[in-house]
């Protein structure tokens, strides 16, 4: 059974839709950075916020009036994917659609505020408004309610590769459920100084404004955002391969695991484009080793120097960008690319290939990939 | 991937449980049979300013040997021990299969490390030890630690559908095996107790300062619990080929979103009713065939009202209990633990009890298994889970 990408959606620091984000990336634009002041850690971090006007339509939904940022972002991206597919979530469509949502940190802003209240004012001062929005599936349940989807709605959590795991989960649902026509896979993430501080403690985030990929790994810069991919049983771009992913138990073994995993996933057509997860951390070296070994002449596009690292949203955004690259026959240039990987695509250019690989090396011991093919 | 051509039978060939009722399935069985109350005063964080002060908690001594071979195991979150122990027991009881996939439900993962991180930032500017907290805080990390401890390197899917997570993990595993996409999967859930979630439920006034009394007319709310549980699900072919023994069969799974409110179930009970109807339809089972319902039964006014109405309407005078009355609500683990309890009930032919039960609510037609377990011939058991966001899930298991 073949599964196809029917529509892609996004809301990012560069644009309110996938299409506008794509145009900005192709023009070599980078997301504006702002300073996110650490309240406790004595450190400031840069981040890439999504302008409020990009989610103003979602924010007008009564259901989302008091919801967290992650829910607004997820809803905006989900609706954009439906629009891109030329569909409206009418009753006959919603009955045959499932949602799979990918989250890494989830409602971190409300979670931090709730715990701050508990610690500083006492447990009896904790707000009952905040707690429900801290639950991982809050964003998915808001979106399901907005779309009127009353059956299959899953939230998957994991590291920055979770989006690809969610996409595979969605393909499983479509393979198992003949009464499903399509599945909306959404990844969303909001940013908070606590998140940046935590990842900096873990040597994964930088206090600098920009980061290089495939160069000196100094850490990443976080971003807000969401992306969505609507998959179904017809379309022009086929989801030719997906996987539940592969764990690695130490950084030392991660490159070997990645090589073995990518090799296993690509038994059919070799990719002629790679959209990578490079983000200025150890992940860059893992990908570099695997790409050099297996795909030594395939151009690599890394969107995160332009958009920032949006964790749970990032892998789905990579899939959306790979779909747009195949659709528009174009590859954006990678900003701030270091010298360690020769095949990095540095300038926006035309691309006539038909097979794309989306690679993701997660922060926390997960590697995953999917392949797309023009049909 | 091939479209489902024929439905395969899905057997439970192994189970592992770590809960406040015991560190393994045998001790959990004994606790169920003797209606043990495992809810005690919370000791791991300050509860002086919360209404509720109790929870079902797993003593750390039970889990001290979860990682015997790892010197660095003291750095891991305690939930990693729960997961490792339950997964180990499940595999051992299934004669050590190598599952193709591990599907795990959770709601909060290693959240208490996140809490500790925040408190450390407040108390000091030193960053010593903070990396350990970040690395072990994320929900997938305890699962990966448990895989490593069990010598497994397999893909994982971490489902976070609030309190339905454990049931959804098992339900998805069931569908994968039934459809032939997988031959053997491990699936279940885990959740450790933590301050943020405990206070969160307290702030919603969902938690009680009294005993938890599901389906009682005077019920006043829930208490939290914790734990982990895993089932090994296998196709008939895999079970036979490995010489494993089936202890039960999963026959139905349904889920429903009531798309109503983030924390309150739809008052009509449409969510749990749809989930139960879909599970019955998926298994080709008539409502009258269900002998026992392990209810979600949190003992909150809203949950029991809606779930009770749905059960009454659909299953009439079936036997019902909420085992949360004994060990509290283990959130993402609850559905997995309760599915495992259904396996034990089917295997041993008994009805698990609903303790602290005083006065029935006359609006419901079903029979609460009040205060003591009892022997009963059981063929089909149904387990409900209801979560925030209107997430409802139902599993149906059959005796083999």
pLDDT at residue B23, as a whole number: 98
Q: Is residue A268 very low, low, confident or very high in pLDDT (cuts 50, 70, 90)?
A: low
For chain B positions 85-114, those within 8 Å of chain A (CB to CB) are 101, 106-107, 109, 114
Q: Which residues of A touch B114 (CB under 8 A)?
A: 111, 115, 198
Which residue from B381, B296, B322 is spatially nearest to B32, judged by alpha carbons? B322
Beta bridge partners of A187: A102, A227
Residue B2 lies in a domain: no
Assess B7–A contact: CB distance below 8 Å, yes or no.
no
Domain of residue B66 covers 11-398
- Within 13 Å and on the Cβ side, how many CA atoms surround B143? 34
- Within 13 Å and on the Cβ side, how many CA atoms surround B316? 6
Which residue from B73, B338, B14 is spatially nearest to B191, judged by alpha carbons? B338
DSSP state of A368: E
ipTM for the predicted complex: 0.97
Distance CA A113, CA B196 (A): 11
pLDDT at residue B72, as a whole number: 67
Delimit the domains of chain A by residue range.
4-374
| Nearest residue in chain B measured CA to CA from A100 | B159
Residue B252 lies in a domain: yes
Q: Average pLDDT, stretch A149-164?
A: 96
Assess B49–A contact: CB distance below 8 Å, yes or no.
yes
Contact A166, A242 (CB under 8 A): no
Which residue from A333, B243, B171, A64 is spatially nearest to A78, judged by alpha carbons? A64
Distance CA B218, CA B205 (A): 15
Cα B263 vs. chain centroid, distance in angstroms?
Answer: 19
Distance CA A144, CA A146 (A): 5
Q: Is residue A43 very low, low, confident or very high in pLDDT (cuts 50, 70, 90)?
A: confident
Residue B4 lies in a domain: no
Please tell me the total number of residues recorded for chain A in this structure: 375
Please tell me the total number of residues recorded for chain B in this structure: 400
- The pLDDT tens digits for A49-72 are 999 999 999 989 999 988 999 999
Global confidence as pTM:
0.97
User: Splitting chain B (400 residues) into consecutive groups of 10 residues, what average pLDDT does each group show?
Assistant: 63 98 98 98 96 97 83 83 97 98 96 92 83 90 94 96 97 98 98 97 96 97 98 98 98 93 86 97 97 98 95 95 98 98 98 97 94 98 95 97
Helix (H) or strand (E) holding A135: none
Residue B298 lies in a domain: yes
- The pLDDT tens digits for A310-340 are 999 999 999 999 999 999 999 999 999 999 9
pLDDT at residue B337, as a whole number: 98
Q: What is residue A123's three-state secondary structure?
A: helix
Q: Is residue A260 very low, low, confident or very high in pLDDT (cuts 50, 70, 90)?
A: very high
Q: How many domains does chain B have?
A: 1
Distance CA B359, CA B370 (A): 10
Contact A373, A238 (CB under 8 A): yes
Say which range, A234-238, A358-362, B131-135, has the weakest mean pLDDT.
B131-135
Q: Inter-chain contact B118–A155, Cβ cutoff 8 Å?
A: no
Q: What is the mean pLDDT of chain A?
A: 94
Residue A106 burial (CB count, 10 A): 28
Assess B134–A contact: CB distance below 8 Å, yes or no.
yes
Residue B23 lies in a domain: yes
> Which among A122, A198, A366 has CB closest to B134?
A198
Output the domain CATH number for residue B80: 3.40.47.10
Nearest C-alpha of chain A: how many angstroms from B200? 5
Distance CA A119, CA B113 (A): 14
Q: Inter-chain contact A171–B1, Cβ cutoff 8 Å?
A: yes
Contact B90, B234 (CB under 8 A): no
What is the SS3 string spanning chain B? CCCCCCCCCEEEEEEEEEECCECCHHHHHHHHHCCCCCEEECCCCCCCCCCCCEEECCCHHHHCCCCCCCHHHHHCCHHHHHHHHHHHHHHHHCCCCCCCEEEEECCCCCHHHHHHHHHHHHHCCCCCCHHHHHHCCCCHHHHHHHHHHCCCCCCEEEECCHHHHHHHHHHHHHHHHHHCCCCEEEEEEEECCCHHHHHHHHHCCCECCCCCCCCECCCCCECECCEEEEEEEEEHHHHHHHCCCCCEEEEEEEEEECCCCCCCCCCCCHHHHHHHHHHHHHHCCCHHHCCEEECCCCCCHHHHHHHHHHHHHHHCCCEEECCHHHHCECHHHHHHHHHHHHHHHHHHCEECCECCCCCECCCCCCEECECCCEECCCCEEEEEEEEHHHEEEEEEEECC
Q: Inter-chain contact A157–B160, Cβ cutoff 8 Å?
A: yes
Residue B213 lies in a domain: yes
Q: Is residue A267 very low, low, confident or very high in pLDDT (cuts 50, 70, 90)?
A: low
Structure tokens at B79: 């939930």
Contact B82, B229 (CB under 8 A): no
Q: Which residues of B are known catalytic residues? A: 163, 296, 329
| Nearest residue in chain A measured CA to CA from B156 | A244
Contact B265, B274 (CB under 8 A): no
Residue B3 lies in a domain: no
Q: Domain A4-374 adopts which CATH fold?
A: Peroxisomal Thiolase; Chain A, domain 1 (3.40.47)
pLDDT at residue B5, as a whole number: 43
| Angle ∠(A197,A198,A199) on CA atoms, nearest 5 | 95
Residue B287 lies in a domain: yes
Helix (H) or strand (E) holding A103: strand A97-103
> Which among A3, A115, A152 has CB closest to B196?
A115
For chain B positions 200-259, those within 8 Å of chain A (CB to CB) are 200-205, 255-259
Strands B101-105 and B184-191 turn out to be: parallel
């Amino acid at each position: 059974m073949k599964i196809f990408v029917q529509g892609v959606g996004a809301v990012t620091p560069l644009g309110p839709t996938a299409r506008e984000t794509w145009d900005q990336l192709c023009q070599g634009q980078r997301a504006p950075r702002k300073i996110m002041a650490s309240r406790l850690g004595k450190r400031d971090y840069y981040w890439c916020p999504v302008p409020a006007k990009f989610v103003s339509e979602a924010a007008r939904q009564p259901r989302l009036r008091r919801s967290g940022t992650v829910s607004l972002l997820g809803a905006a991206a989900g609706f954009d994917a439906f629009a891109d597919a030329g569909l409206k979530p009418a009753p006959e469509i919603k009955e045959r659609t499932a949602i799979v949502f990918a989250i890494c940190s989830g409602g971190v802003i409300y979670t931090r505020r709730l715990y701050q209240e508990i610690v500083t004012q006492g447990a009896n001062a904790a707000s009952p408004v905040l707690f429900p929005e801290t639950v991982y599936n809050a964003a998915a349940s808001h979106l399901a309610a907005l779309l009127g989807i009353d059956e299959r709605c899953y939230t998957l959590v994991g590291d920055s590769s979770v989006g690809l795991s969610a996409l595979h989960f969605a393909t499983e649902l479509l393979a198992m459920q003949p009464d499903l026509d399509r599945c909306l896979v959404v990844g969303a993430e909001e940013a908070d100084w606590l998140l940046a501080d935590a990842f900096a403690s873990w040597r994964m985030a930088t206090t600098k404004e920009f980061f290089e990929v495939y160069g000196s790994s100094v850490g990443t810069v976080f971003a807000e955002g969401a992306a969505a991919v609507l998959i179904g049983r017809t379309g022009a771009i086929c989801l030719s391969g997906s996987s539940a992913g592969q764990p690695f138990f130490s950084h030392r073994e991660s490159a070997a695991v990645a090589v073995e995993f990518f090799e296993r996933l690509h038994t059919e057509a070799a990719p002629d484009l790679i959209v990578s997860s490079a983000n200025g951390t150890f992940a860059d070296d893992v990908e570099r080793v695997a790409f050099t070994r297996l795909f030594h002449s395939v151009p690599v596009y890394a969107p995160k120097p332009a958009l920032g690292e949006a964790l749970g949203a990032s892998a789905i955004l990579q899939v959306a960008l790979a779909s747009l690259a195949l659709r528009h026959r174009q590859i954006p240039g990678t900003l701030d690319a270091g010298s360690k990987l020769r095949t990095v695509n540095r300038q926006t250019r035309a691309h006539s290939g038909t097979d794309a690989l989306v690679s993701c090396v997660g922060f926390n011991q997960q590697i995953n990939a999917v392949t797309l093919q023009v049909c | 991937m091939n479209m489902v051509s024929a439905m395969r039978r899905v057997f439970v060939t192994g189970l592992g449980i770590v809960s406040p009722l015991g560190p393994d399935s045998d001790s959990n069985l004994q606790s169920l049979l003797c209606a043990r109350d495992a809810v005690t005063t919370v000791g791991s964080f300050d509860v002086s300013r919360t209404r509720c002060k109790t929870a079902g908690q797993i003593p750390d001594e039970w889990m001290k040997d979860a990682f015997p071979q790892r010197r660095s195991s003291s750095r891991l979150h305690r939930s990693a021990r729960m997961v490792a122990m339950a997964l180990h027991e499940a595999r051992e009881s299934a004669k050590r299969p190598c599952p193709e996939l591990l599907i795990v439900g959770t709601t909060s993962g290693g959240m208490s490390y996140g809490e500790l991180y925040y408190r450390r930032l407040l108390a000091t500017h030193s960053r010593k030890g903070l990396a350990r907290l970040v690395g072990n805080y994320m929900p997938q990390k305890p699962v990966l630690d448990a895989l490593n401890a069990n010598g497994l390197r397999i893909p994982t899917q971490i489902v976070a559908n609030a309190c339905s997570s454990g049931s959804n993990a098992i339900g998805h595993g069931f569908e994968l095996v039934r459809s032939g996409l997988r031959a053997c999967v491990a699936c279940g859930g885990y959740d450790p107790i933590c301050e943020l979630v405990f206070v969160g439920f307290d702030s919603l006034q969902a938690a009680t300062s009294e005993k938890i009394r599901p389906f009682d007319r005077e019920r006043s709310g829930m208490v939290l619990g914790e734990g982990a549980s895993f089932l090994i699900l296998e196709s008939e072919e895999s079970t036979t080929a490995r010489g494993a023994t089936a202890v039960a069969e999963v026959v139905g799974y349904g889920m429903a979103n009531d798309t109503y409110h983030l924390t309150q179930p739809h008052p009509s009970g449409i969510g749990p009713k749809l989930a139960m109807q879909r599970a019955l339809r998926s298994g080709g089972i008539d409502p009258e065939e269900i002998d026992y319902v392990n209810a979600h039964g949190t003992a909150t006014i809203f949950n029991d009202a809606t779930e009770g109405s749905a059960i009454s309407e659909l299953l009439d005078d079936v036997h019902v209990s909420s085992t949360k009355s004994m060990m509290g609500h283990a959130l993402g683990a609850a559905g997995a633990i309760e599915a495992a309890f259904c396996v034990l009930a089917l295997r041993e032919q008994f009805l698990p009890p609903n303790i602290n039960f005083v006065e029935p609510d006359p609006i419901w037609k079903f029979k609460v298994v009040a205060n003591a377990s009892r022997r009963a011939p059981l063929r089909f058991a149904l387990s409900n889970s209801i979560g925030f966001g209107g997430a409802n899930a139902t599993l149906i298991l059959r005796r083999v």
